[in-house]
Amino acid sequence: MKSIKENTFLIIAAIFAFVVINIALFYVYPGNFTNIAYITFLVIPLFVAIVLVFTRFSVLFTSRISEQEDEKKLLRERQKEIVENMVEGLIVHNKLGKILSVNSTAERFLGISASEILYKTKAEIKNKPSLFNALFESFGSVSEKEHSFKDKYGKELTFKIINVELSKARGEKLKIIRDISREKHLNKMKSEYLTIMSHKFLTPLNGIKWTAPSLLDEAVKDVDKERFVKNIIKSTDTLIELTSRLLRVTEMEEGSFTYKSESIDLEKIIENAVKDRRDDVAKRNITMTFNKTITLIPKVVADADRIKVVVDNFIDNAIKYTKNKGKIDVTLEVEGKNIKYSVKDNGIGIAAKAQADIFSKFFRDDRAIAMHTEGSGLGLFITKNIIEEHGGKVGFISTENKGSTFFFTLPIKK
Ligand code: ADP
CA-proximal residue: ligand 1, atom 13 (nearest): 364
Q: Looking at ligand 1, which atom is closest to the CA of residue 367?
A: 16
The per-residue pLDDT for 232 is 94
8 Å CB contact between 292 and 270:
no
Is the full-model pTM beyond 0.85? no
Per residue in 308-343, pLDDT tens?
Answer: 999 999 999 999 999 999 999 999 999 999 999 999
Which pLDDT band, with edges at 50, 70 and 90, does 187 fall under?
Answer: confident
The per-residue pLDDT for 203 is 86
The DSSP H or E segment spanning 264 is strand 262-264
8 Å CB contact between 99 and 119:
yes
Given a cut of 90, is residue 376 above it in pLDDT? no
Q: Looking at ligand 1, which atom is closest to the CA of residue 380?
A: 6
Distance between CA atoms of residues 219 and 304, nearest Å: 48
- Compute the distance from residue 317 Cα to the ligand 1 centre, in Å: 6
Domain residue spans in the chain? 2-83, 89-179, 183-254, 262-411
CA-proximal residue: ligand 1, atom 8 (nearest): 377
Partner residues linked to 244 by β-bridges:
none
The per-residue pLDDT for 3 is 59
Q: Which residue has the higher pLDDT, 406 or 141?
A: 406
Instruction: Identify the CATH number of the domain defined by range 89-179.
Output: 3.30.450.20
Which pLDDT band, with edges at 50, 70 and 90, does 35 fall under?
Answer: confident
Given a cut of 70, is residue 163 above it in pLDDT? yes
The per-residue pLDDT for 63 is 86
With the most atoms of ligand 1 within 8 angstroms of its CB, the residue from 313, 321, 328, 397 to mutate is: 321
Residue 237 burial (10 A CB sphere; 0-12, 13-18, 19+): exposed
C-alpha count within 13 angstroms, C-beta hemisphere, residue 228: 18
Is the C-beta atom of 347 inside 6 A of ligand 1? yes
CATH of range 262-411; options 3.30.565.10, 2.120.10.80, 3.90.470.10, 3.30.2310.20: 3.30.565.10
The per-residue pLDDT for 414 is 66
Q: Which residue blocks in 111-214 are alpha helix, DSSP H? A: 114-117, 130-136, 181-211
The per-residue pLDDT for 252 is 85
Angle between helices 44-85 and 4-28 (to 10 degrees): 150
Q: Which residue has the higher pLDDT, 188 or 189?
A: 188
Partner residues linked to 163 by β-bridges:
175
Mean pLDDT of 194-215: 88
8 Å CB contact between 24 and 41:
no
Per residue in 109-118, pLDDT tens?
Answer: 999 999 999 9
Mean pLDDT of 347-354: 94
Other beta carbons less than 10 A from residue 341's beta carbon: 25
The per-residue pLDDT for 49 is 81
The per-residue pLDDT for 72 is 94
8 Å CB contact between 178 and 103:
no
Average pLDDT, the chain: 89
Given a cut of 70, is residue 235 above it in pLDDT? yes
Strands 327-335 and 338-345: antiparallel
- Compute the distance from residue 114 Cα to the ligand 1 centre, in Å: 41
With the most atoms of ligand 1 within 8 angstroms of its CB, the residue from 197, 350, 402 to mutate is: 350
Per residue in 124-148, pLDDT tens?
Answer: 998 889 999 999 998 888 899 999 9
Is the C-beta atom of 403 inside 6 A of ligand 1? no
Distance between CA atoms of residues 311 and 269, nearest Å: 8
Domains 89-179 and 262-411 share a fold: no
C-alpha count within 13 angstroms, C-beta hemisphere, residue 88: 13
Per residue in 61-78, pLDDT tens?
Answer: 888 888 999 999 999 999
CA distances from 263 to 92, 300, 387, 393 (A): 60, 6, 15, 19
| Domain 183-254 grouped into CATH 1.10.287.130 | yes
Is the C-beta atom of 196 inside 6 A of ligand 1? no
8 Å CB contact between 249 and 197:
no
* Cα–Cα–Cα angle for 356, 361, 364, rounded to 5 degrees: 65
